[in-house]
Homo-oligomer: A and B are copies of this chain.
């Protein structure tokens, strides 16, 4: 498929965001898996369902410091009519009693201790009165009271974590408790980041008139890290066809290619033109019904998604968040395609929007303690070249194509930026 050359003409039409995602989705394949140590798996996406090979706990144990008893012996106990049991043994943690609890007997047991044979409940230490080898019990306990039964947490063979789940600290704990020392996770997609533009200079240099310090590849590098990809900066390339073709060839060794700049309608906006005319390239879209980010182009070259994002920093970020993060998470096979948390907030000011276009509005978020709610304050200086607006913002509101905007005081969804 080809798209129209828009250079010096302007876009004739814009494709809706949803449709672009659908197109993308049909082209993206989940990445293959790799085996890593469980202890290093924080933030990784699980490749296949994981079953526990063991019971947790592996034996029935006491949940409290107390006395292991036969629950039946406590039935009928009351403050007025206490039951008396004889303490026949005391085990320490990590010990097993050789004795068996018989009727009206008890064995003293610590939290985590193995329930002795014959016993089926534990009475808390502080709930009995002990005198020499006898305890008095003032209320009944039901069978398995204060007992963590074998397999109560996890049963042998049970699926404990599913494909697509992200590994958090608690997943690491459960895996290690299950004696699973290695797990299969999807490989991190590799992302090549290229900035184009003859006006760009490397960071650390002072720009002369006409020059711009290139920062997009650094922003996107860090976004890749946040969202689970493995980025590489291929650097700055000038706006000439030869250099662009050369870097593209190199970039196609990565799972995802991201260009910034050179995606619009100027005569030096060559990348969509190059992609359009490359053999084996399938152009998915050029020009998307969104703001910022409309001059975005996406092609698939031999299975590899190639994104041409606008050069303006906020437009590049936005388009990356909407399409590249989506692609990264699809390749990872993650259940959560957009990890940014969504909160509800009340708008402090109306936001107008155009029908037929998806608007992404950066907002400050304030907590209104009195009314236990969040307030969202749209940022005024929101030009897509204004990096400081993204710095002042705590999140972004998405106004869909079918909306003309939101009134002041209406409740809206805010996607919060990470990390926090």
List chain A positions with a Cβ less than 8 A from chain B. 8-10, 39, 42-43, 54, 56-59, 61, 63, 65, 92-96, 110-114, 124-126, 148, 152-154, 160-161, 166, 168-174, 176-177, 179, 181, 197-199, 203-207, 209-213, 215-216, 218-223, 225-226, 239, 264-269, 311-313, 317, 336, 339-344, 372, 381, 383, 385-388, 390-391, 393, 413, 416-420
Which of A56, A169, A197, A267 gathers most chain B CB within 10 Å? A169
Contact partners of A96 in chain B: CB under 8 A: 209-210
Query: How many copies of this chain does one complex carry?
Result: 2
Q: Find out whether the CB atom of A268 lies under 8 angstroms from the CB atom of B219.
A: no
Contact partners of A39 in chain B: CB under 8 A: 203, 218
Contact of A220 among B113, B169, B417 (CB under 8 A): B169
Q: Find out whether the CB atom of A266 lies under 8 angstroms from the CB atom of B125.
A: yes
Contact partners of A154 in chain B: CB under 8 A: 387-388
Which of A161, A173, A215, A221 gathers most chain B CB within 10 Å? A173
Q: For the complex, what is the distance from the CA of A125 to the CA of B6, rounded to whole Å? A: 12
Given contacts A63-B383, A148-B383, A204-B179, contact A113 B210 (CB under 8 A): yes
Shortest distance between the CB of A324 and any CB in chain B (Å): 12
Contact partners of A63 in chain B: CB under 8 A: 312, 383, 385
Known: A93-B210, A173-B218. 19 other contacts (CB 8 A): A8-B125, A39-B218, A42-B222, A57-B212, A58-B209, A61-B210, A92-B268, A111-B264, A125-B265, A148-B383, A152-B381, A153-B385, A160-B391, A173-B215, A173-B219, A173-B387, A174-B391, A181-B204, A336-B420
